[in-house]
Every structure is written in C-alpha cells, then in structure tokens.
Copies of this chain bind each other. A is one copy, B any other.
Amino acid sequence: MDTLEAYLHRQQQRVETALDQWLPALDQYPPGLMDAMRYSVFAGGKRLRPTLMLAAAESVGGDSEPVLPAACAIECIHTYSMIHDDLPAMDDDDYRRGKPTNHIIYGEAIAILAGDALLTHAFEILSSPDLTERFSAEVLLQVSRCMATAAGSFGMIGGQVVDMISEGQVVDLSVVEYIHRHKTAALIEASTTVGGLLGGGSPEQVDALRAFGHQVGWAFQITDDILDVEGNAATLGKAVGRDAELDKATYPAVLGLEASRQRATELMQHGIEMLHTFGDRAEPLRQIAAYIVSRDI
C-alpha cells in the first residue's frame, strides 16, 4: 500500500466527492436547511468512519466503489450526532474543528432540524436505487439494521445519555467503559461491519471486522479523552480541558493518563489481532488502528 498518509488522503478525497454527490444540493428548497446540513458535513472532518468502511470492504477483497454511498450515510449519522451534541442544552460548544458550531451559525432550531435531517438522510441513502441495484435487498436490510442499532438507544444515543447524566458524578470504570463503547465504539464498529457486509465478506470475516471496529473505536475514544487533557487547542480545532470543565466521566479522570494510554494501546493491539487471517489486504486497517492511538489531532 501507499504510505498511510497517502492512503488516508486518497480515501478522504473519494469520500468528499461522494458526500457532495449524496447530500441534497444547496439550491434545493427549503433555503437554509441544506446549507446547515452541508455546513457541518463539510466542516473538515477526518472521515475516519467512512475510511474505515471502505478499508474494511477492501480487506475482504471487495470493491469499495459501490460502498461509497453507505460511507456517506455513516458520516451523515456521525455529523448529526455532533450537531446535536454541541447544542446549548447538551455540551454547549461554540467551536468544533476550528469552526463555529452549527447552532452558532444557523441558530438552535435549524441546528436541531439539520441534525434530524442528516440522520433521516442516512436511511434514505441506504434504501436508494443506486444501492438496491448493486446489492441484494437482504444485505441492505442488514446494513440498515446494523447502523440503526449502532446509532440508537442501545448504541450511540445510550452512550450520550450516560455521558451526560454522569457529569459531576463520581463514577467507576464500568460507567466510563459503557460510555466509550456506546457513544463512540458502536458507530465505528458499524463502519467496519458494514464494510465487511458490502464487501462480500464471509460471516467469520464480518464478525472479525465487527470486533476489530469495536476495540479500535474504544481506543479512539480513550485517545480523545487523553487529547482533551494533553492536546493543543490550535491543532485540535476545539477547546481542550472541556471534559474537566464539565466534570465528564473520562478514562484519564478514573485511571490516570498513563494507565489510559496503556489501555488504548492494548485495545488497538487486540483489534489488530482480530485480523490475523486477513493478510495484506487488511494492512490499511492495521495502520489506521495504530494511527488512532498515536494521533495528536
């Protein structure tokens, strides 16, 4: 493969092009809504979840081109969750990725509706003719179920609720683990699982990709918590120290920085072990996993 940097850049470019194609156009009615949807989608994300989905499809020998719409769908879900998370009633963040958050630009009402629209749009994409022409309806329903479960009350939303109600509380490690595994790992796990499903992986391969995604997603959130303590606000494009300010339940708060770093590394290694039968085609996934715990942004 290319260097990881070149690989990530190439996949990111493909995702940007596909997102532009799969989101409602700016000139479509009603005014304001499409702008708000696009504003947050194109506010400069790393496209980690779509890239993992494409890499997962390729890791089982699949063609990642027809997977691009589903990669856009997962980015829509991720973006909606950030728009709602940043709202004044939630984390009340004014900046994300160095840019004003959605409600700062468009107001709270449109921010809520743009989030709702992006979540809904994900399921429109997953049932669109472009996908139904290319994949069996059975597989697409599995994909839809996988994403809905990961995003729902027993997945991401459950994690966000526990994250919020744990603010200012003394919590033990099991609560922090619940938050990480649901708020973040669930959707990353869905990314690699869906990649495996649409890439035509065997049930065993899809299971391995699911486990890989879960461990790596969990390691990603621990690293996020560490960066909130140690990171550079300019590099990260958002305020640091917000977790401590909100008295959030985080790994560093419960275990300390050193043990948190160690836990993230262990999870990443466990994740990579899941792919031991995958051969060279899984090299991008392995390198992304290693990058996730060593990144500074």
A residues sitting closer than 8 Å to B (CB atoms) are 24, 28-34, 37, 80, 84, 87, 89-90, 107-110, 112-113, 115-117, 119-121, 123-124, 126-128, 132, 136-138, 140-142, 144-145, 147-149, 151-154, 157-158, 160-162, 164-165, 178
Q: Which of B33, B84, B160 contacts A161 (CB 8 A)?
A: B33
CB atoms of B137 and A123 under 8 A apart: no
Chain B residues within 8 Å of A119, by CB: 116, 119-120
Give bound CA distance, A152 to B34, whole Å: 11
Check A110/B145 contact, CB under 8 A, given A140-B137, A152-B120, A153-B34: no
Q: Which of B84, B136, B158 contacts A30 (CB 8 A)?
A: B158
Give bound CA distance, A153 to B122, whole Å: 11
CB atoms of B152 and A113 under 8 A apart: no
Check A108/B89 contact, CB under 8 A, given A141-B141, A144-B144: yes
Chain B residues within 8 Å of A117, by CB: 152-153, 157
CB atoms of A127 and B112 under 8 A apart: no
Q: What is the CB-to-nearest-CB distance from A180 to chain B, in angstroms, rounded to a whole number?
A: 14
Chain B residues within 8 Å of A32, by CB: 161, 165
Chain B residues within 8 Å of A161, by CB: 30, 32-33, 110, 113
Chain B residues within 8 Å of A113, by CB: 84, 157, 160-161, 164
Chain B, Cβ-Cβ closest to A179: B30
Q: Which of B24, B137, B153, B178 contacts A141 (CB 8 A)?
A: B137
Check A87/B110 contact, CB under 8 A, given A30-B161, A34-B153, A161-B30: no
Chain B, Cβ-Cβ closest to A159: B30
CB atoms of B84 and A112 under 8 A apart: yes
User: Could you show 17 A-B contacts with beta carbons less than 8 Å apart?
Assistant: A28-B154, A32-B161, A37-B153, A80-B116, A84-B113, A87-B112, A89-B107, A89-B108, A109-B164, A113-B157, A113-B161, A116-B119, A116-B157, A121-B152, A124-B149, A124-B152, A140-B141
Check A127/B141 contact, CB under 8 A, given A33-B157, A113-B157, A116-B119: yes
